[in-house]
Amino acid sequence: MPLSDNVRTAIIDAVEQGFPDQIEFTKVLVRFPSIRGKEHEVVDFIAGELAERGYEVDQFDMDPAAIEAHEGGGKITPEHSTAPIVVGTHRPRNEAGRSLILQSHVDVVPAGPDTMWRHPPFEPHVEGDWLYGRGGADMKAGQAQIFFAMDALRRAGFAPAGRVHLQTVVEEESTGNGALMTYLKGYDADAVLIPEPEEEMLVRANVGTLWFQVEVQGKPVHVREMGSGANAIDAAYRVVAALRGLEADWNAEKGDHRFFEDLDHPINLNIGKIEGGDWASSVPSWCRVDCRIALFPGIRAAEAARRIEETISTFAASDPYLANSPPKVTFNGFFSEGYTLEPGSEAEAVLGRAHQAATGEELQSFVTPGYLDCRVYQLYNRIPSLCYGPISENIHGVDERVSVESIRRTTIAMALFIAEWCGVEALGD
Ligand code: ZN
């Protein structure tokens, strides 16, 4: 049922009241340099904040066996984080409303060279409307929004009338296993909202993602008799060129994939990291290339993986050197499928009303060609999965920043969404 004017106004006022603290809280989160494998402290901090607010707190580890047994499980390598996942649960006195999951991730991508940043990446800084810092936009602002949207309801004198799980995960940037683990642990609800930095728009569809590493062996010789050796780095370049062919083939199929027809280049192959060789005057004997590629929704991860292996083996067979020294391919991270949010759900209508009240604009949807944890909820929980959050720039880049006013607007929208989706009960008595 749409919110009454009184309830709506009280919630908007409460978000405004809490907003200075919310920005300070976001900065506190940015100060944790929680890159992959180093999220333990920030997860503990979140667990403490949940407990302090009276949520029922469940902190648990990943279960590698259960993850590996699941078709959407990302590959577990020694780099995989051992940080736990934490879920805070709100239970209404009388469970009359719809339930909801609010999810965020606290892992952030590496900052790259500090010297390229205007301010050190883990020292948050507000300048004009922008809050700078690695992970500020992606997605510690969203983590803070979850806390403060819920706090605002309480300050306005209400509690959600449905069960709400506040889920904080890791591994969103590398495998998606944190979100998957909450599903495997049994967390479920009638809808999920993930406040990733999405330009105040709703994500309509999203690609799957695969990570893989290609290892090429060379034949090392002194560089003066280079012709008798084989250069692993040169050979890796040739393999990359073959993979670019696969990328072009997949992009050429975009017309067959609803919501992706109008995107310029939805399937991006990123050559993310390359290592190889030992010495400038020795023909290198080894090269390793870390890659990430996208896949359209509806394509199975295993099928895409098979196409990648086939592309590399077919190319290798045609290459005079690689025919006798085929590259090795290892899937070492994301093994995820894309998803589509079917238009017309009640959850989307409620978010639309909340967004309209917060911004005065109609909610727009768009398609993003990057990984999102919503895929777990849409594909496995099979619930409406709403990815919606503030305006940002340069996420995964240098001088990552998030708009403070956009955080304000989207927090209002989130708080109104929670109130209408779950319904509210009055606090007190
Ligand atoms: Zn993110």
Distance (Å) from CA 26 to ligand 1 centroid: 15
pLDDT for the residue 429:
53
Contact between residue 323 and residue 317 where contact means Cβ atoms under 8 Å apart: yes
CA of 400 from ligand 1 middle (Å) equals 12
Q: Are residues 241 and 378 in the same domain?
A: no
pLDDT in tens, the chain (429 residues): 789 999 999 999 999 999 999 999 999 999 999 999 999 999 999 999 999 999 999 999 999 999 999 999 999 999 999 999 999 999 999 999 999 999 999 999 999 998 999 999 999 999 999 999 999 999 999 999 999 999 999 999 999 999 999 999 999 999 999 999 999 999 999 999 999 999 999 999 999 999 999 999 998 888 888 788 899 999 999 999 999 999 999 999 999 999 999 999 999 999 999 999 999 988 999 999 999 999 999 999 999 999 999 999 999 999 999 999 999 999 999 999 999 999 999 999 999 999 999 999 999 999 988 899 999 999 999 999 999 999 999 999 999 999 999 999 999 999 999 999 999 999 875
Q: How far is the CA of 2 from the centre of ligand 1 (A)?
A: 30
Instruction: Assess whether 37 and 125 both reside in one domain.
Output: yes
The model carries a pTM of: 0.94
- What distance in angstroms lies between residue 196's CA and the mean position of ligand 1's atoms? 6
Ligand 1 mean position to 387 CA, how many Å? 10
* Structural domain that includes position 370: 5-205+339-426
- Please check whether residues 310 and 412 belong to one and the same domain: no
Burial class (CB in 10 A: 0-12, 13-18, 19+), 147: buried
State whether 287 and 359 are in the same domain: no
C-alpha 139 to ligand 1 mean position (Å)? 5
Alpha carbon of 402 to ligand 1 centroid (Å): 13
What share of the chain in percent tops pLDDT 70?
100
Structural domains counted in the chain: 2
Same domain, 254 and 366: no
Same structural domain for residues 264 and 308? yes
Q: State the distance from the centre of ligand 1 to the C-alpha of 296, rounded, in angstroms.
A: 19
* Domain end (from 303, 336, 369): 336
**Distance from the CA of 271 to the center of ligand 1, in angstroms?**
20
On whether both 362 and 378 belong to a single domain, the answer is: yes
User: Which residue shows structure tokens 């050979």?
Assistant: 235
Q: Which of 336, 368, 384 is the last residue of a domain?
A: 336
Element (H, E) at 47: helix 40-52
Q: What is the pLDDT of residues 42-76, one digit of tens each?
A: 999 999 999 999 999 999 999 999 999 999 999 99
Spatial distance between the Cα atoms of 169 and 133, rounded to a whole number of angstroms? 20
| Residues 6+ away with beta carbon under 8 Å from 34 | 41, 42, 106, 107, 108, 135, 170
Nearest alpha-carbon partner for 389 in 218, 137, 153: 137
Centre of ligand 1 from the C-alpha of residue 27, in Å:
17
Distance 109 CA to ligand 1 centre (A): 9
Among 299, 314, 336, the domain-final residue is: 336
324 and 358 part of one domain: no
Centre of ligand 1 from the C-alpha of residue 223, in Å: 45
Per-residue model confidence (pLDDT) at position 1: 77
d(CA 388, CA 410): 8
CATH code, domain with 280: 3.30.70.360
CA of 208 to the centre of ligand 1 (A): 14
In the reported structure, the alpha carbon of residue 107 is separated from the centroid of ligand 1 by a whole-number distance in angstroms of 8
**Same domain assignment for residues 186 and 62:** yes
Query: Percentages helix, strand, coil for the chain, rounded to the nearest 5?
Result: 40, 25, 40
- Residues 81 and 106 sit within 8 Å (Cβ to Cβ): no
Considering the domain architecture, whether residues 94 and 220 belong to the same structural domain is answered as no
pLDDT of residue 220: 83
Q: Are residues 141 and 88 in the same domain?
A: yes
Shared domain check, 229 and 178: no
CATH number reported for the structural domain that contains residue 171 in this entry: 3.40.630.10
